[in-house]
Chain A
Amino acid sequence: MAQSIRLTAHDLSCQRGGRVLFQHLSFALGSGEGLRVSGPNGAGKTSLLRLIAGLLPMQGGRLEVGAGAPPLPELCHYVGHANGIKSTLSVSANTSFWADFLAGEPARVGSALKLLGLEALADLPAGLLSAGQKRKLALTRLFVASRPIWLLDEPSVSLDAASVKLLDAAIVKHLKSGGLAVIASHLALKVKFAHELKLGGKGSA
């Protein structure tokens, strides 16, 4: 993993449907630092993550990674509200597709499923999984392709206590190895975040 990755945001702003969600938003994340984004519903947490992932067009401001790095979207893992799981494919087929498509390591599919406790379900169609298991399946793509920036949108939704612990540990490990993480979460994760960002409810940060 490239050690020199930095994520710097200058003066970001975001409008959705004519309503200003946030403006003049700046932050800088160095290698190994996490940013926790909090705020009431509709404050723009998801929009901020999608903006960083390149899924929303920039409306103002700049996002920069270190010089010479690949384009930002290719450095990011984005796990949003929708899991992106194909219900007719088996659990392992879903994960191996991500490993292949994201140019990751197909050899790590087994260990990723094991890490999240899905190895016994590997041959089951993903449509039969419970909501929490689907969430865990979506999170396996973090482990089959290594990318320095994790963008997680409410990753702990519908996870049980044991799984939240696993996720916690995985995020800590990712940060220790020099990765970055931007996480929008209501739930208290035990990860020590280097930065906190509170998006306000009244339209601006």
Chain B
Amino acid sequence: MTPALALLRRDIRLAWREGGAIGTALGFYLVVVAITPLGVGPDLNLLSRIAPGVLWVALLLASLLSADRILHNDYEDGALDVLANGPLPLTLVVALKSLAHWITTGVPLALLAPILGLLLNLPIEAFPLLVLAMLAGTPAVSFLAAIGASLTLGLRRSGVLLALLVLPLYVPVLIFGVATVSAATTGPASPWPPLLMLCALSLASIVLAPIAAAAALRNAMR
């Protein structure tokens, strides 16, 4: 097995084994979306209008819950020293760990979203686009989270600081994500331009975020 595949497989296995990672994110997502109708009242029209926004905001918060796991555990137990001395450049190590985070957090959350859409009276016609938009946008969420994770490495209560650092970076993803789903529910605008913007945001994050995160990581390890 190549070093890259070995690292990816290990991180996915750890996310399953160490519990919490996937379960907490999915549970948090479910609870936040489930209590929203209790807060805004049983107005079905209002709920279906705010559904895309609620689903996206809750997804961003849920994926931040496990964001510090991208690097924190490996830093604490010394595994990062081994990863830094491997044949892969640190940029690629960070990229693979972000990819593992996307597979174990972004994808499950995106697949859960339609079920939660039912709770918010989101029209069923919008479901395919909702999943598509979330699958297109969540890579950016995971890769940008890696920047926050490496900047807050070794700090106490790093989770809160990480959220403060990374949430502003999520604004474009949120705007275009909600625009895609809203276009599908309310029309008449086409959902494709914002969806393509989401893809562009993800591609740019996949390329650029590991460079920034690896630089921050080198600084944290000294």
Which residues of A approach B to under 8 Å, CB–CB?
53-57, 73-74, 76-78, 80-89, 93, 97-98, 100-103, 106, 141
Asked whether B79 lies within 8 Å of A84 as measured between CB atoms, the reply is yes
Offer 10 A-B interface pairs, CB within 8 angstroms, sorted by A. A55-B222, A57-B222, A74-B85, A81-B78, A84-B74, A84-B79, A85-B77, A89-B10, A101-B10, A103-B3
Is B1 in the interface zone, CB < 8 Å from A? yes
Query: Within the complex, what minimum Cβ distance (angstroms) separates B142 from chain A?
Result: 20
CB < 8 Å neighbour of A83 from B6, B77, B218: B77
Q: Are A53 and B85 in contact (CB under 8 A)?
A: yes
> How far is A98 from B81 in the complex, measured between Cα atoms in Å?
12
Q: Is B86 an interface residue (CB 8 A)?
A: yes
Q: How far is the CA of A141 from the CA of B83 in the complex (A)?
A: 12
Out of B13, B74, B88, name the residue touching A89 (CB < 8 Å): B13
Smallest distance from the beta carbon of B164 to chain A beta carbons, Å? 27
Q: Using Cβ atoms and an 8 Å threshold, which residues of chain B touch A77?
A: 85
Q: B218 → chain A, closest Cβ, in Å?
A: 8
Task: Give the 3 A-B CB pairs with smallest separation, nearest first.
Answer: A82-B78, A100-B6, A84-B78
Across the interface, A54 reaches (CB within 8 A) one of B82, B85, B87, namely: B85
Q: B115 on the interface (CB 8 Å rule)?
A: no
Q: How far is the CA of A85 from the CA of B74 in the complex (A)?
A: 9
Q: Is B18 an interface residue (CB 8 A)?
A: yes
Residues of B within 8 A of A (CB): 1-3, 5-7, 10, 13-14, 17-18, 74, 76-88, 218, 221-222
Main secondary structure of the interface of B (DSSP, over half): helix
Number of A-B contacts (CB under 8 A): 80
Contact partner of A88 (CB less than 8 A), chosen from B7, B18, B218, is: B18
Contact A84 B77 (CB under 8 A): yes
Q: Give the residues in chain B near A56, CB-CB below 8 Å.
A: 221-222
Q: Say whether B81 contacts A80, CB under 8 Å.
A: yes
Smallest CB separation, B6 vs chain A (Å): 3
The answer on a CB contact under 8 Å between B3 and A102 is yes
**Nearest-Cβ distance from residue B98 to partner chain A, whole angstroms:** 17
A55 & B77 in contact (Cβ 8 Å cutoff): no
**Could you tell me if A83 and B78 are in contact, using CB atoms closer than 8 angstroms?**
yes
Chain B residues, Cβ within 8 Å of A87: 77
Query: How close is A181's CB to chain B, nearest CB, in angstroms?
Result: 16
A57 to B218, CA, bound (A): 9
Closest chain A residue, CB of each to CB of B76: A82
**Cβ of B183 to closest chain A Cβ, rounded Å:** 43
CB distance from B124 to the nearest CB of A (A): 40
Bound Cα distance from A85 to B218, whole angstroms = 21
A53 surroundings in chain B (CB, below 8 A): 81, 85
Distance to closest chain B CB from A75 (angstroms): 9
Given A78-B81, A100-B3, A101-B6, check contact A89 B86 (CB 8 Å).
Answer: no
Docked pose: A77 CA to B1 CA in angstroms: 20
Contact flag A97-B85 (CB < 8 Å), given A83-B77, A83-B78, A88-B18: no
With A56-B222, A102-B87 known as contacts, the answer to whether A82 contacts B6 (CB < 8 A) is no
| Contact residue among B1, B13, B14, B79 (Cβ-Cβ distance under 8 Å from A106) | B1
B residues in contact with A93, CB < 8 Å:
13
Tell me the nearest residue of chain A to B19, going by C-beta. A88
A86 in contact with B77 given A100-B3, A101-B6, A101-B7 (CB within 8 Å): yes
In this complex, what residue of A is CB-closest to B83? A101
B222 — which chain A residues lie within 8 A by C-beta? 55-57
Contact B14 A89 (CB under 8 A): yes
CB atoms of B81 and A82 under 8 A apart: yes
Residues of A within 8 A of B6 (CB): 97, 100-101
> Other CB < 8 Å A-B pairs besides A101-B6, A101-B7, A102-B82, 10 of them?
A55-B222, A76-B85, A80-B81, A82-B78, A84-B81, A87-B77, A88-B17, A93-B13, A102-B86, A103-B87
